[in-house]
Structures are given as structure tokens and as C-alpha cells.
Structure 1
Amino acid sequence: MRLAFILQCLAQIYCLICNGQQSTKRDLYYEYKKLYGSQSVLDRAIKAICDLLDESRKSLMSYRVVSDAQFILVVEKDAIFQKMLDEGYFTVLPASVIVTGKGYPDICTRLVLRWLVGRLAVPIYGLFDSDPHGIEIMLTYKYGSMSDCKEGRGCFVKEMQWLGFKPSDTSVLPIMSHQFIGLCNRDFVKITRIRRRAERLREYDVVKELDLLRSMRCKLELEAVSSIAPQFIISGYLLHCLPALVPVCYRSPNQALVDEQLEASNQ
């Protein structure tokens, strides 16, 4: 039966390619639900095909994109992603693409980003929590996961630039004291592990930020930045970090607050 599943799946993929179409794994499953019986059976068939051909699912993608985007922004959390949209992200930064993996850098999200960067040839930036988990996610987007299987090979975006939220930002932005969360033993273990990987990758700025995070003994989430003021991540933080990409007419009063904090920290 395993061979039957693989052959049927290959037939479906071949049909899609011939017709210039794409499909989700879920759609492929429902097309022959009685044969497969469960989604996991189809998933195993796809994995077997990838192993057999020594290819990944991305090799089956054939898309065309037209965009005037000047950059791509990856946001770690879906909640922050949704809040930024609700607060008028595209009014302030219309010429951009914003993406979230909903807290986890899954293979599909990384494939889409890899493809977008290749097609659009624009810079890509990331917003993550200022904690060990957020920094680990950033490195996964940029270099892939340590546990990636064959399907995950090449699913990374080395062009990823860590925009924030960094431990060093805590001395610049007006963060309320109650927003700080103490690091636990598991956090310190993760910092050590991530630091070793960052050193191997020669990501010395990341190493420096991890050392600062460890010395601070506390972490911060993106929610801490978003709670400073309405639309602060967009009109304050992003406009300061990406001034060359933002028209002057879109700058808001929150920008002055960030600039004042930066000037004070540099004196």
C-alpha cells in the first residue's frame, strides 16, 4: 500500500505541474481522502518522494511575483503582527511586505521568505523578542534549524538583518520596570547554547547581545515596546531604524520620543 500512496501522490503532483497549478497538502489529501485515510499517510508519502528524488517541496513551486516593495519585515509573533496591521502599518510603510511565522520559523514560512528575497532582491529585516527564544528564532530564519531534515535544507535567509528588539535597546527606549521578566535557569542554558552557535557563525554582534542579556539577567517581549505608546513600534521604533525607507510625511510625534531617548543615551 505504501507504494500505492507514493504513486498516487506523484500522479497528483505531475498533474499540478502540467497545468501550472499549486496545491496545499490538505487539498491533495481531500482529493483522494478515501485512498489515503489520514493526512499523516499523505505527509509520509510526500516525505518519501522528497527523499527519493533528493529534493524538497520548494522545487515544485512555480510562482511569479510583481511588487514595488522596498523591504520585507518578519515579525516573530502573530499577536504583534495583527496589532501592527490594526494600527495602520501599511499607511506608514506601504512599500513593504510583512510576514509572520506565528511564533515559530516553520519550513513553509522560511521557504516563502527565501523565494521572496530571491525574486524581489530587497533587504529583509526581523523583529523578535529580546530573549533567548527570540534570538534563537532569528538565527533559525537566517541559518536554518539545527534539527532540519532533508526537506528543510536550504530553508534559510542569510540576508536576514536583525532589526530588534535587542537587549541593548533596553537602555534607549522608555520601558516600564514591570515589563522586565527575570531569566530562569533554562534561559541561561539556552543563552550558552545559542552563543556557541553564534560564535561558529561569526555573528559577533549576536554574541555581544547575548552577553548583555545574560548580564542583565532579565528579558523583554515585543509587547513591552508596543505598550510604550499607541503605534509605537511602527511610528517610533521602525521609523527610527529604517528612516531611509520611510517618507518624511509619515513621521509621527512618537519619532521625537525615540530620538530624544537615543540622544540622551549617547551623551
Structure 2
Amino acid sequence: MASRAAELFSEIDKLRVQLLLNVEGKTDCQYVEEEISHREILAHIENVIQGIVTSLSKNEAPVLTLPNRSSWANVSFDSAVGLQMSSGSSVTTIRSDCASSVTKFAQILKILSVIYRLVLSDSYATKRDIYYNNTQLFGSQKTVDGIVDDVSCMLKVPRRSLHVLATSKGLISGDLCYMEEDGTRIDCHSRSAAVAVSSNIAGIRNIVSSAKFVMIVEKDATFQRLLDDDFCSKLSPCIIITGKGVPDVNSRLMVRKLWDTLRIPIFALVDADPHGIEIMCIYKYGSVAMSFEAHSLTVPSVMWLGLLPSDLQRLQVPVDALIPLTERDKSKLNSLLKRPYLTSQSDWQKEMELMQQSKVKAEIQSLAAIAPDFLTNTYLPNKLHYGGWV
């Protein structure tokens, strides 16, 4: 393992020399303007590698220390930001001389090496590219995904700044046009097909929209129904976006980008079940695993439009469209009620307590039991008119 580590950061040492050679050909002004953020990232990586070199020079086994991204002990809640990493009290130690962690040690070094090259050359790669560059080392795409996030957290550098892109799974449609970083003009107005969320949200510019609101839709099926019914133009100019369930980072970044740019209301349309509520909370408050990037991923202004547990009673949704809560649902619901952000959301708390009492849940599609077009022609228009949003 020591020889493998030495080989990897010997490679990075060469890149450092290349960086110095590149800088010599630029004026100070050019360097500061074009390379300052790159230089900071490279310096962070070099510091990690220097620590490994120092350990090896002392005949000690190199060790990497990562903040534990799954621990609530490292997270605090700020109502203006959401869940954010506040400390490194809970850490994970990756040792190069331990059989259980030596592979991950090598994987982290490899990804640090790839990132160093990408930043240095101002080029980009997808996480899929990284995986297929060395499938034997990584074993699975999921491993690469997790380590890229670990490295981002360890370096305290936003993932998008590491020049590693992720393939988006989200879709967006409505009153929206923007320019991609490569100059491609994107028009989201088409009612026949949605646009895939960009893989490079940071590169989006020239956003143009007359939308009155943005609506996050939990499920792709519901999103497609709204698209088919031309919802974005019939009621009021708006934007709809879905992360197809638990949202990927790009979908969350896009919602945040829209909020920062347009400053219009953002609503969430999710199933009236613990899973849907948690998905909404990820958009609004963030997740423990990505709390180190809370400032760019959360939108604390997100409002819960529906489907509310209280709607099931108010609208008299047919009993055969309701689903009993499973033990897993009950456990998830109890967990959500203990989350720190619930203390500032008394209305949400009441809705979840009502779900506990009724012991039933319902999908958005359950509204079709009232009428096939009830969601788009009655439910959403009434909700939005009642709130004064349209």
C-alpha cells in the first residue's frame, strides 16, 4: 500500500511542478483573475498529500481523517440555512495499514489525483468517467459517488468546484429560458417534452422567466401528468421541476438557482406520506450527508402545498384510495417529528401528528379517485388561488 500511495502522490507532485511552470507564463493580474480559486483547491489537495508524505518519511502508516457525513453530531440547524455541518466531532479514520480501510484509502488518493489533474487543466469529467477509468479499484459507481462527496467535505470545497460532474436525473419545464455554459440556449416552454436538468448548474446564465412560482413535484408520474395537462400555462406562468423521488444534487442546485435568481414562491407537491415529507425536507432544509454544502443546496422558503394529511379528510378522499401506514412508515414519521427543524414548523408538525393519528397515507394520484382531472383542474388551482399566489 505504501508503494501505491507513493506512486499516486509522486504523480501529483509532477502536476504541482507543472502548475508552477504554467504560472510563470502569466502576469500576476492574469493569475489572480483566472486561477485563484483553482490555486486554493490545488493547495488543499497538496496539503493532504504533504501529510501523507510526512507520515511515510517518519516510517508511519498514512492516515486520512474525514468528517462523518452520516452523523447528526456534526450537524446544527439554522432556520435561514437549514441543516449545516458545524463541527467535526464525529470523524471517520481511513488507515493505509488496516485491511478494512486500505482499499478506500487507495480510492481516495486516486480520486484526489484525478481532481488535481482536472482542476489544473480546467477540464471536467463525470463521476461515471472516473469509475470507468478504474473499475477494478472502485468496484461500483456508488463507491465513486460517495468518495467524491467525502473528498469535497474533507477539502471543504463545493463539489461543483472539483470539476467532477454528475449526470442529472431531474426534469424541468415551464416559463423558463437560460443559457448553458457552452452557449447552448435552453427553452423549457415545450408542453410535449421536459428538459433534463443541467449537469453544470453553476454554468447557467441569462435566466429569463415570467413565472409566478416554482413547484417541486416529487414523482415523475405526477410531473408528466401536469405536463400533459399544460399546467404551466393554463393557470399561471410557472415552472415545474422533479428530482424523480429523492432529488439528486443537480436538481437541488437548480431549485436554489431559480430561487436566487427569480425570488418567487417555491412550493412542494409530494405524497401525503413520511417518504414524501422527507423529500420535501431535503429541498427545504437539506440532508445530513450533504450538510457541508447547505448554503448552495437548501431553499428554506419552500412551502408545503400538498398533498396534506388534512386534505384527505377535508376532500373526503375515498377510503379505498388510502393506504395503511407500515411499521417502517411509523418509524420514519417518528424520526421526522424529532428533527430540529420541526420546532419552527408547527403547521407541519400538526399535519404529521394527524397522519400518526389516522394511521393512513396517500399518494398524489389518490385525488384521481375523486375525479380524473381533480389535481390539475380543481385541487392545485384552488390551493394557489386561496393562498393568493395566482
Q: Is the TM value for this pair above 0.5?
A: yes
Q: Of 175, 178, 192, which residue of structure 1 is paired with 2:320?
A: 178
- 1:76 and 1:102 in contact (8 A); partners too: yes
- 1:182 and 1:218 in contact (8 A); partners too: yes
3-state SS of paired residue (1:213): helix
- 1:110 and 1:155 in contact (8 A); partners too: yes
Q: Given the alignment of the two structures, is residue 73 of structure 1 paired with residue 215 of structure 2, yes or no?
A: yes
* Higher RCO (C-alpha under 8 Å, 6+ residues apart): 1
> Which residue is equivalent to 2:381?
239
Tell which deviates more after alignment, 195-204 or 68-77: 195-204
Q: Distance in 2 between matches of 1:213 and 1:95?
A: 33
- 2:342 and 2:348 in contact (8 A); partners too: no
- 2:265 and 2:301 in contact (8 A); partners too: yes
> Which residue is equivalent to 1:167?
309
Q: Given the alignment of the two structures, is residue 10 of structure 1 paired with residue 116 of structure 2, yes or no?
A: yes
Tell which deviates more after alignment, 124-133 or 2-11: 2-11
1:207-246 correspondence runs (5 A)? 207-243=349-385, 244-246=388-390
- The structure in which a higher percent of residues are strand is 2
Larger Rg: 2
- 2:118 and 2:125 in contact (8 A); partners too: no
Structure 1 gaps, min length 5: 247-267
Tell which deviates more after alignment, 132-141 or 55-64: 55-64
Q: Distance in 1 between matches of 2:322 and 2:216?
A: 23
Q: Distance in 2 between matches of 1:62 and 1:209?
A: 39
- 1:125 and 1:163 in contact (8 A); partners too: yes
> Which residue is equivalent to 1:63?
204
> Which residue is equivalent to 1:106?
248
Tell which deviates more after alignment, 175-184 or 86-95: 86-95
Count residues in correspondence. Answer: 239
> Which residue is equivalent to 1:252?
none
> Which residue is equivalent to 1:255?
none
1:18-97 correspondence runs (5 A)? 24-26=126-128, 28-29=129-130, 34=133, 43=145, 46-47=148-149, 50-51=152-153, 53-59=155-161, 61-64=202-205, 65-93=207-235, 95-97=237-239
Tell me which amino acid in the other structure corresponds to 1:204: S
> Which residue is equivalent to 1:250?
none
> Which residue is equivalent to 1:262?
none
Q: Of 260, 280, 290, which residue of structure 2 is paired with 1:138?
A: 280
- 1:56 and 1:152 in contact (8 A); partners too: no
Please report how far the alpha carbon of residue 15 of structure 1 lies from its aligned counterpart in structure 2 after TM superposition: 4.5
The Cα offsets for residues 56-87 of structure 1, whole Å up to 9 and x where unpaired, read as 12457232122222211001111111122122
The Cα offsets for residues 2-55 of structure 1, whole Å up to 9 and x where unpaired, read as 6565344333345557xxxx76434x549xx55677656864674465245412
- 1:126 and 1:138 in contact (8 A); partners too: yes
- 2:283 and 2:302 in contact (8 A); partners too: yes
Tell me which amino acid in the other structure corresponds to 2:211: A
Q: Distance in 2 between matches of 1:63 and 1:91?
A: 24
- The structure in which a higher percent of residues are helix is 1
Please report how far the alpha carbon of residue 158 of structure 1 lies from its aligned counterpart in structure 2 after TM superposition: 0.3
Q: Distance in 2 between matches of 1:51 and 1:180?
A: 41
Tell which deviates more after alignment, 116-125 or 231-240: 231-240
- 2:212 and 2:236 in contact (8 A); partners too: no
Q: Distance in 2 between matches of 1:202 and 1:134?
A: 19
How many percent of aligned residue pairs carry the same amino acid?
A: 35
Quick one: structure 1 residues 121 and 4, their matched pair in 2 at CA, closer, same or farther if it must change by over 3 Å?
Answer: same
Q: Distance in 1 between matches of 2:262 and 2:215?
A: 13
Q: Distance in 2 between matches of 1:77 and 1:85?
A: 12
